[in-house]
Amino acid sequence: MKPTTRETRPRKWRKPTPCPICGCTRIGFQWIATAYNPILHTTRAIWRVQCRHRQGILIITRHNDLKEAIRAWNTRANKHKRKAKER
């Protein structure tokens, strides 16, 4: 059994995971706003993630960073895929 190294499995955070609903790969990320919480002293970036067929969902990340938004989308899309398999 060969150990799976990170080199053989390149990270794909640069590319968003295809949409779990329709499978399209054209996922658009649009930054909407950054919300500041004066009590907790935290900021949250709000992103609109949209594929060709869906109306678009909102993703909230800690930083105003597109990479983080893509990662959040990927996590969400993978979870959705797993759920669909269980059914």
Cβ closest to Zn ion, residue 5 vs residue 55:
55
Number of alpha helices (DSSP H) and beta strands (DSSP E) in the chain:
1, 3
Contacts of 50 (CB under 8 A, 6+ apart): 27, 28, 30, 56, 57
Cβ closest to Zn ion, residue 43 vs residue 75:
75
CB-based closest residue to Zn ion = 19
Binding to Zn ion, residues 42-71 (CB under 5 A): 51, 53
Contact between 81 and Zn ion per CB under 5 A: no
User: Where does this chain bind Zn ion (CB under 5 A)?
Assistant: 19, 21-22, 24, 51, 53
